[in-house]
Structure 1
Amino acid sequence: MAIAPLSAHQLRKTCDPSQFDFETTAELEPLNDILGQERAVKAILFGIGIRREGYNLFALGPSGTGKRTTIGQFLDRKAAAEPTPADWCYVNNFDQPHKPHALRLPPGQGVVLRKDMEQLVEELRTAIPAAFESDDYRTRRQEAEEEFKERQEKAFTELQEEAREKNVALIRTPVGLAFAPLKDGEVISPDDFQKLPEETRKQFEQDINELQERLQSIIFQVRQWEREARKKVKELDRQVAMFAVGHQIDELREKYASLPEVVEYLDAVQKDVIENVDEFRKPEEQPQVMGLPMPRPLKGPPLLRRYQVNVLVDHSETEGAPVVYEDHPTYNNLIGRIEHIAQMGALLTDFNLIKPGALHRANGGYLILDARQLLLQPYAWDALKRALRSREIRLESLAQALSLVSTVSLEPESIPLDVKVVLIGERLLYYLLHLYDPDFSELFKVEADFNGRMARTPENNLLYARMIGTLARNEGLLPFDRQAVARVIERSARLADDSEKLSAHLLSVVDLLREADYWATTSGHKTVTADDVQQAIEAQIHRADRVRGLVQEEIRRGTIMIDTTGERVGQINGLSVIALGNFAFGQPNRITARVRLGKGEVVNIEREVELSGPIHSKGVLILAHFLTARYAPNYPLSLSASLAFEQSYGGVEGDSASVAELCALLSALADVPLKQSLAVTGSVNQHGEVQPIGGVNEKIEGF
């Protein structure tokens, strides 16, 4: 069977510019749809539309295919039509300060409540001292104090008169009150007391003992009167504080009557203000250390901080549901953190130092994360799964959870979580998570698989032209003429490694458009031409092909031995592809085969020295069994053969050298020379059929 050689047009499928009915892309309508990603688009629409637990999305596909851009566009449209979620604030828990309360407020009301509380505190700092400095308060307090003094003085006066009637004096000593006998109005000295008749002494002692008991009773009664007086003063203070505070907080109660949680918080504030009313009466002092004022951030939390409102999430300027992209998804950046203030060698904190995470900001909307970055951060993946499973955001210090520090910390009230999470990553990452993490399939039930290629049809060519025009318009580039568009499409097919496909790797296309625009601008063109696109392609290749140039130089100098003329037995030119970064190039390799009598073994020298990859070793085993089945089906094949990649000092992988190795082996067996002007590539199966392989463009150019 004669094999017809391929013609030039069969080697490269060109794009005919005449199929386009425009002169430049400036005439084309913008392309708002996502090109070549119908499957992924349907998955995204389904994923963001279904509101069920566990239906989060994982966008998988090669990087540069526009996963983030596509998802962002759909989420922005969807979120704009959805209601704006609630604000979230943390306020003080006056009963248990280490467990702050979370308040849910309508959008924009968090900042309003914070300002109202700030204004309330300022007004109370003025109103409370003024109320306690009023004449009415002073009069009522003075009355309570005077009543106590009068009762005290009356009791002691009566005691003194009773003692005087019994010729006993009540005197004050350094250790307290005491009684002493009197004679002629003078206190009797101890010596004179002993000279008194025994009956008189006994009477004095009896009277003094009775008076002493009476004194103890009066002192006990005075203490009760003092407590009653303090209680009256405290009740008076409470009434005055209630008068000063009540109408201020009543206004806020009326304002937030539709929010029971806020009303309950205001009740707690009123109760705490009344209990700590003395703090509002003290002048504010600047803390000092060794005579120097402390910086304000190091003061520690003052008492009045307890009435502040920490607005964790503010949606006062948000329209629709939030769409949040967290480019650095650490544990703290995801679930929030509790900050501390260093003061005198100690770490202090309060509810005002609670900071939000991406989950807080995206609550009620959508959160986009890079899967690889998320998995690289310690404990971030576990924290995200825990939040999605429990459907709440629980703030916990990572250092405290791991027992790395033992400082005073907080246990904030958990916040209910309603968020749709979208992870973006490579296909391999998705499959590995699906295989090794049992929680993954329960939490991310929707996969949006982005294709790296699309069909090359006349309809898609026109859509590709519109996409080029849209990208050029968005990037502020010069318009592309139809010849330039055709050259970009040809380059796209080359990037797709298939003449019937176009590349969906938008990043590569955008880079080419930018560089073509640069060369067109440098040349003074008003539109980008095919020559500008070609110059951009050649510049890209030139920047990356240093190693290819060195390899070709070594071949020309004979350092790498490649024959391109004559014929040789058991020797053939194979073709390999070397990929370095974003650039791949083909390289010819000399493959040789040697045979002799033996036990039917084909020795792969690369495998023997552990330079052969598993796929290459598989290819050699397949061709060995093909030889056995074809030429010795009924008895052992009495040969021993060896195959080698000459001057190969690195690993060999892939099965595309199978046909070349088979040709070299058959040439050595039959002693038939092979033309060295030819290079061979392709894999072979056990039936001897040649199979397609990749990298054809690079291999042809490499030879």
Structure 2
Amino acid sequence: MPIAPLSATSLRPAGLAPGMSFETTAELEDLEGPLGQARATEALRLAVSLGGEGYNAYVMGPPGAGKRTFVMRMLGRTALEAPTPSDWCYVNDFADPRRPGRIELAPGRGRQLRADLDRFGAGLRDVLPAAFESRDHRARVHVLEQELEEAREAPVNEVRRRAEARGVALLHGPIGFAFAPVKDGEIVGPDAFHTLPLEVQERLKRDIGELQNQLADVLRAMPDLERRHRERLKEVNGTLTARVADELLHELRRRYADASAVLAHLDAIRADLVERVHELLAAIEGTNEIPSALRKLLADTPFLRRYGANVMADHAERAGAPVVHEDLPSLSNLAGHVEHHAHLGTLVTDFSLVRPGALHRANGGYLVLDARKVLVQPFAWDALKRALRAREIRIDPPERLLGLMGTSTLEPQPIPLQTKVVLLGDRALYQLLSILDPEFPQLFKVEVDFDDELPRSPERDREFARFVATVARREGLPPFERAAVERMLREATRRAGDSTRISADAAAIHDLAREAAHVAQGQGRTAVTAPDVHAGVEAQERRAGRVRDLLDEELRRGTLLVETAGARVGQVNGLSVVTTGRRMFGRPSRITARVRLGRGEVVDIEREVELGGPLHSKGVLILSGFLGGRYCASTPLALGATLVFEQSYGGVEGDSASSAEAYALLSAISGVPLRQSLAVTGSVDQLGNVQAVGGVSEKVEGFFEVCRARGLRGDEGVLVPASNVPHLVLRDEVLAAIEDGQFRVYPVRTLDEGLELLSGVLAGAPDARGAFPPDTFNGRVAARLAELAAAARTFAQGDRDGASGHGHGHGRAR
């Protein structure tokens, strides 16, 4: 029974579900969540709600599926109901400044602590100099100085009194103390000294020696006096400083009475200030105006910065948990880093130069990262895993991770980490990480897999219409008419390559909606119509059609040889798909076969020259199995054949042309010509069944374009696998030609059905003995193969006879 072509009605995809009644999308509600994706939604909800180690999520799916938008919206809604996490601050550890200390505070109090400590520093800058300028403090310092002076002068005066009693004067000059004899109230010079009696000279020398020893003892005690004076002065200054600090810190201690870590740090500030104030005073020693000099010193130096707070996580204005998306997940952007600045030719740093990373900002909430971007950043992937595994954020400089010596830096105390990490990536990367990184499955236990395509159903149609309505409202576009939504749905179905499914490529739907709305607005319409959507589709195809148009031009000019009329032996029009970017289009290719006497080999020229991929080569090898199994079950296959894609200058991959190659090969064997007005697609198995292939709509349209350019006669068409019929979503012009009887699409299940359509000759079925009727296509193939087998036997026998005769002759000659 001949195969009937498909009708245009059967090929036209169904519109929106009949129960949906609306004029424009303005009447529809927004769609919450992604289009379809129930499995992905359930998985992400599990990752968000389930506690425990390692329940982070890896979200994967096709590009444009809206993974990031879906994740950010879902996490945003969940975060609103979650508790707001704590603030974290770094403060100076005065005992070990290289290891800044951490302080955890209630949300918003980190910013408050920073402001309070800044006010404390500002107050200290004003109050401390004023305290040192006070009359009471100056009086106490004056008393200490007088006491020091008296303590210095008393022993010297005692030595002076003893010297005078012995007729010796104690002189105090610029270079120190000296003793000189005195006579009649006058200093005795060296010349006069030598005129004195010898016994007087000897006595004076003894007395001066003793006095020098006594003075030396007195002078040796002077440093002790000054040290005790400095200690007493330091104690006075410290007491004053402590009083000033207590006055300034009193309100802070009351305000942070419930924060033990802050109280401990305030005590540390007080102790450090009391300890360090003498360094400030030493820096301005010798200045007459100590208060003004001290005020200037505090204003011009970073001394007071040591008493501030560096807020690493600030949630003062946040309701709920944070949701952070880091677009550049480098090591420093993830885990934070320590900055340095130049000071006197040296790079220096302190706790105030520690900078937070995405982990700090997302602590207590959710962190969204692009998996591929994390992996390409040096050390970032290891740092992320280390933080999740240890549940703490540790700031390590890159040179330390490399084991190198670098600039002196800080080692801030690690901050406890409690966050959910969501990675966005593709399936291939997920599989590689699962195989190559043993830690990955333990840290990312939840697999959130987006569907590439969604099955059609009334409920899905309603969701699609609401999705278009949502896009229009959020983008500020005009509403879409019902017919426009149906045209959008048809395009989504076409992108899925299946009339029973729609594509999950939300980005493509977004783009088409924007472009259709642009067309409508350009025409002054207040609603988007179906022709507007059609215009948007055509514009997209036109933009991506440069290569397609070039190939079409070469076909029209005859540079690429493709026949669409007449009949040829061993030649058939195969169909392939060319991909440019995210667009596909079909093009016909001339496939030819030649046969000869051989050893049962079907040579794939594409494979021999390394232009054929493994799947294409597999399809050709299957043909050998098909030929031997059907026609030569009890006799050798004495065939030598070659198959080639004519004028193919690039790689050929896939088995979708194996049925076309089978037709060409069987035609070459039988000598039966095949119609060139028909093109073929479909793979074949060893039993002769035609199997489904991809890109079937584009392939049909590609041959249609060639036939239309040459003028449709009504006998053109395409043979497609019957199992591919649900995948046909053809353009309007193709459906119109089918409806007018100008073009045909034939569904075939077996090679026999295709042979009958291509040749007009009955395929023929084997009898009980496996023999085919001689006047059928298969009968002619079997007869020709039998002839080749007989010729092979005759040739082989001749070789044996020739070899035997040659041997006898050789023997006689000898």
With the shorter chain as reference, the TM-score category is over 0.9
Q: Which moved more, 1:449-458 or 1:246-255?
A: 246-255
- Residues in 2 aligned to 1:197 and 1:518: alpha-carbon distance in whole angstroms: 128
For 1:376 and 1:151, the matched residues in 2 are separated by 74
Equivalence for 1:626 = 626
Shift of 1:341: 2.2
Please identify, of 605-614 and 549-558, the stretch whose mean Cα deviation from structure 2 is larger.
Answer: 549-558
* CA distance in structure 2 between the aligned counterparts of 1:596 and 1:526, rounded to whole angstroms: 69
Aligned to 1:342: 342
Q: Secondary structure at the match of 1:532?
A: helix
| Counterpart for residue 429 of structure 1 | 429
C-alpha distance in 1 between matches for 2:114 and 2:48: 34
SS of alignment partner, residue 539 of structure 1: helix
SS at match of 2:487: helix
Residues 402-551 of structure 1 correspond to what in structure 2 (within 5 A)? 402=402, 406-551=406-551
Shift of 1:404: 7.4
The residue number in structure 2 matching 1:290 is none
Instruction: Supply the distance in 2 between the matched residues of 1:311 and 1:33 (Cα, whole angstroms).
Output: 35
Q: Which residue in the other structure is 1:389 paired with?
A: 389
Q: Tell me the alpha carbon deviations over residues 458-498 of structure 1, each in whole angstroms, 9 at most, x when there is no partner.
A: 22212221222222222222222222222211111111100
In the alignment, which residue of structure 2 is the partner of 1:161?
Answer: 161
**Deviations 1:388-407 (CA, angstroms, capped at 9, x unpaired):** 12211111232554477843
Whether the aligned pair in 1 keeps the contact of 2:24 and 2:481 (CA below 8 Å) is yes
- What SS does the aligned partner of 1:588 have? strand
Match of 2:701 in 1: 701
1:401 and 1:201 map into 2 onto residues whose CA distance is 82
Are the counterparts in 1 of residues 126 and 295 from structure 2 also a CA contact under 8 Å?
Answer: no
User: Residue 594 of structure 2 aligns to which amino acid in structure 1?
Assistant: R
Shift of 1:539: 1.7
Partner SS, residue 592 of structure 2:
strand
Opposite residue 57 of structure 1, the aligned amino acid is: A
Residues 335 and 394 of structure 1 are in contact (CA less than 8 Å); yes or no, is this contact kept in structure 2? yes
Contact 2:325/2:367 (CA < 8 Å) preserved in 1?
yes
Structure 1 residue 19, shift from structure 2 partner: 4.4
Given that 1:17 and 1:486 are in contact with CA atoms closer than 8 Å, whether structure 2 keeps it comes out as no
Distance in 2, Cα, partners of 1:485 & 1:148: 98
**2-structure distance, mates of 1:16, 1:462:** 8
What is the deviation of 1:696?
0.8
Fraction of identical pairs, as percent = 52
The answer to whether the 8 Å contact 1:483/1:529 transfers is yes
Helix, strand or coil at the partner of 2:70: helix
The equivalent residue for 2:644 is: 644
Superposition deviation, residue 445 in structure 1: 0.8
How do 1:151-190 residues align onto structure 2 when only pairs under 5 Å count? 151-190=151-190
**1:357 positional shift:** 1.1
Secondary structure (helix, strand or coil) at the match of 2:562 reads coil
Taking the aligned partners of 2:570 and 2:204, their CA distance within structure 1 comes to 143
2:74 counterpart of 1:37: no
Q: Within 2, Cα distance between the matches of 1:153 and 1:492?
A: 104
Residue 328 of structure 2 aligns to a residue whose secondary structure is coil
Match of 2:243 in 1: 243
> Is 2:324 the counterpart of 1:327?
no
Q: Which residue of 1 aligns with 2:48?
A: 48
CA offset digits 1:100-147 (Å, max 9, x no partner): 222211111111111111111121122211211112112222112112
Amino acid of the residue matched to residue 577 of structure 1?
Answer: V
Deviation at 1:211, TM superposition (A): 1.8
Q: Which runs of 5+ in 1 are unaligned?
A: 288-295
Secondary structure (helix, strand or coil) at the match of 1:276 reads helix
CA distance in 1, matches of 2:22, 2:482: 7
Q: Deviations over 1:152-203 (max 9, x none)?
A: 2221112111111122222235542232333333333445444545544443
C-alpha distance in structure 1 between counterparts of 2:620 and 2:388, whole Å: 50
Cα distance, 1:84 vs. partner? 0.8
Once residues 192 and 630 of structure 1 are traced to their aligned partners in structure 2, the CA distance between those partners, rounded to angstroms, is: 150
Q: Does 1:116 align with 2:116?
A: yes
CA contact (8 A) 2:125 2:295 kept: no
Indicate the SS of the match to 2:364: coil
Matched, 1:615 2:609: no
**1:575, distance to aligned residue in structure 2 (A):** 0.3
Q: How far apart, in 2, do the equivalents of 1:381 and 1:636 lie? A: 61
TM-score (norm 1): 0.94
Cα pair 2:626 2:686 within 8 Å, conserved: yes
CA-to-aligned-CA distance 1:423-460 (integer Å, 9 cap, x gap): 11111111111122222111111110000111112222
1:89-168 alignment runs, 5 A limit: 89-168=89-168
User: Does structure 1 retain, via aligned residues, the 8 Å contact 2:615–2:654?
Assistant: yes
Q: How far did residue 221 of structure 1 move?
A: 2.7
2:126 and 2:174 mapped to 1: Cα distance? 44
Q: Is the 8 A contact 1:36 1:453 kept in 2?
A: no
Q: 8 Å contact 1:64–1:508 — kept in the other structure?
A: yes
Instruction: Give the distance between the partners of 1:356 and 1:563, measured in 2 at CA.
Output: 69
Q: Secondary structure at the match of 2:460?
A: helix
Report the CA distance between 1:246 and its aligned residue.
1.3
Conserved in 2, the CA contact under 8 Å of 1:98 and 1:409?
yes
Q: Distance in 1 between matches of 2:44 and 2:13?
A: 34
SS of alignment partner, residue 527 of structure 1: coil
Q: CA offsets, 1:307-366, max 9 Å, x none?
A: 222222211111100001111222221112222223454333222222211111111100
> Which residue number in structure 2 is paired with residue 218 of structure 1?
218
Question: 3-state SS of the aligned residue for 1:311?
Answer: strand
Is the Cα contact below 8 Å between 2:364 and 2:418 reproduced in 1? Answer: yes
The alpha-carbon deviation at position 635 of structure 1 amounts to 4.6
- The equivalent residue for 2:745 is none
Distance 1:190 1:552 in 2: 127
Separation in structure 2 between the aligned mates of residue 405 and residue 219 of structure 1, nearest angstrom: 51
Bigger Rg, structure 1 or 2:
2
Q: 1:585 to 1:629 in 2, by over 3 A?
A: same
Q: Deviations along 1:54-113, whole A, 9 cap, x unmatched?
A: 111010000111111111121111110111111122222222222222221111111111
Superposed CA offset, 1:262-301 (max 9, x none): 11111111111112225385345599xxxxxxxx9xx8x7
In structure 2, how many angstroms separate the alpha carbons of the residues matched to 1:553 and 1:228? 105
What is the rounded CA distance, in whole Å, between the counterparts of 2:343 and 2:63 in structure 1? 48
Where do residues 265-276 of structure 1 align in structure 2 (5 Å cutoff)? 265-276=265-276
Q: Look up the match of 2:668.
A: 668
Cα 1:344–1:401 shift into 2, 3 Å: farther
Q: What amino acid does structure 2 have at the position aligned with 1:647?
A: Q
Asked if the contact 2:16–2:458 (Cα under 8 Å) also holds between the matched residues in 1, the reply is: no
1:520-574 CA-to-partner distances (Å, cap 9, x unmatched) read 2222222222122112212221222222122122112111101111111111110
Q: Distance in 1 between matches of 2:264 and 2:297?
A: 33
Q: Which runs of 5+ in 2 are unaligned?
A: 282-290, 704-814
Equivalent-residue separation in structure 2 for 1:526 and 1:250 (angstroms): 68
After superposition, residues 187-266 of structure 1 pair within 5 angstroms as 187-266=187-266
2:28 match: 28
> In structure 2, how many angstroms separate the alpha carbons of the residues matched to 1:35 and 1:494?
17
Shift in Å at residue 11 of structure 1? 2.6
* TM-score where L is the length of structure 2: 0.82
Which residue of structure 1 lines up, in the alignment, with residue 5 of structure 2? 5
1:29-75: CA deviations, max 9, x gaps?
Answer: 22224331011011001011111111110100001111111111211
State the shift of 1:511 in Å: 1.3
Answer yes or no: is the 8 Å Cα contact 1:17–1:483 preserved in 2: no
Contact 2:368 2:423 in 1 (8 A): yes
Distance 2:113 2:462 in 1: 56
CA distance in 2, matches of 1:662, 1:19: 47
- Counting matched residue pairs gives 692
Distance 2:397 2:568 in 1: 73
Task: Tell me the equivalent position of 2:712.
Answer: none
